[in-house]
Amino acid sequence: MASGAAAFFPEVNGNLDASLLRRYVGRKLKLRLCMLLLVLGASLLGGGCALKDPRLDPSVVYVGERPAAKEATRANFDDVSYWDDAGISGSASIRISLSEQRAYFYKGGELVAVSALSSGREGFGSPTGSFKVLEKSRDHKSSLYGDYVDASGNVIRKDVDVSKDPKPSGAKFDGAKMPFFMRVSGGVGLHEGFLPGYPASHGCIRMPGFMAQKFFDNVSVGTPVVIAP
């Protein structure tokens, strides 16, 4: 700092005038402090407006305006599931490809939807062939797979098969939830379930929730379903 001041202030007996030097340094510090306060003030003011101004709040809905629809929840790997039947009508049908892990929905023979899925894992393969929707159950629960729980609903033993796993004394069976269940053969059906990105079920066709609901709402008992290898 002293070397910078030397070019502007006279010397007294070969030394910088001490009082002038102090004033020079003080002014420089004040200038820098003022600039810092101005920057901070502008930042806080801008942030405060962004937080408090309702015009900038995406959750605010104005009169006559519809709130933005929430994006359906889907698995991270699922970039294929969609439903688009705008302007399309006709009888419904479903084709499932186990090798592709995809379900295709048709109206009047025209494709209107594709869904990712998870079919039966090794040892629990999903059946193949031509079927029909035999039953629809919106809040279905499995009668074979689920958990053993106590009287308060606390899980005693998880992921059991009642045909193989003995029930502990005092426990009761709580069947696995299978929302939007569409039975096609025996205990096998299409329903909402977890999709890990590969076949993982006990034979059923698991689908993302938003797609299972769409399929469910657009089929009837008797809708043809083809399950291909």
Element (H, E) at 206: strand 205-207
Contact 223, 93 (CB under 8 A): yes
| pLDDT band per the 50, 70, 90 thresholds, residue 35 | confident
User: pTM of whole model > 0.85?
Assistant: no
**Tokens in use for 17?**
């005038």
Mean pLDDT on 83-99: 97
**Given this model, what pLDDT does residue 76 score?**
64
DSSP type of residue 64: T
Q: What is the dihedral of CA 171, 174, 175, 180, to 10 degrees?
A: 170
Separation of alpha carbons 155 and 148, rounded Å: 6
**157-187 pLDDT tens trace:** 998 999 999 999 999 999 999 999 999 999 9
Q: What is the dihedral of CA 16, 19, 23, 24, to 10 degrees?
A: 0
Residue range(s) occupied by CATH 2.40.440.10 in the chain:
92-228
**Tokens in use for 110?**
């025209």
User: DSSP string covering 5-37, please?
Assistant: HHTTS-EETTEE-HHHHHHHHHHHHHHHHHHHH
**Given this model, what pLDDT does residue 50 score?**
42
Q: Output the CATH code of domain 92-228.
A: 2.40.440.10
- Alpha-carbon separation of residue 45 from 1, 49, 89, 108 (angstroms): 34, 6, 55, 59
Residue 137, number of CB atoms within 10 A of its CB: 15
Separation of alpha carbons 72 and 224, rounded Å: 27
**176-226 pLDDT tens trace:** 999 999 999 999 999 999 999 999 999 999 999 999 999 999 999 999 999
| pLDDT band per the 50, 70, 90 thresholds, residue 12 | very low
* Low-confidence winner among 74-88, 103-117, 154-168 (lowest mean pLDDT): 74-88
**137-162 pLDDT tens trace:** 999 999 989 999 999 999 999 989 99
Average predicted confidence (pLDDT) for the chain: 82
Q: Let me know how many helices (H) and strands (E) the chain has, helices first.
A: 3, 13
Angle at 10 between CA 7 and CA 13, to 5 degrees: 120
* CA 181 to the chain's CA centroid: 21
Which has the closest alpha carbon to 216: 176, 186, 184, 174? 184
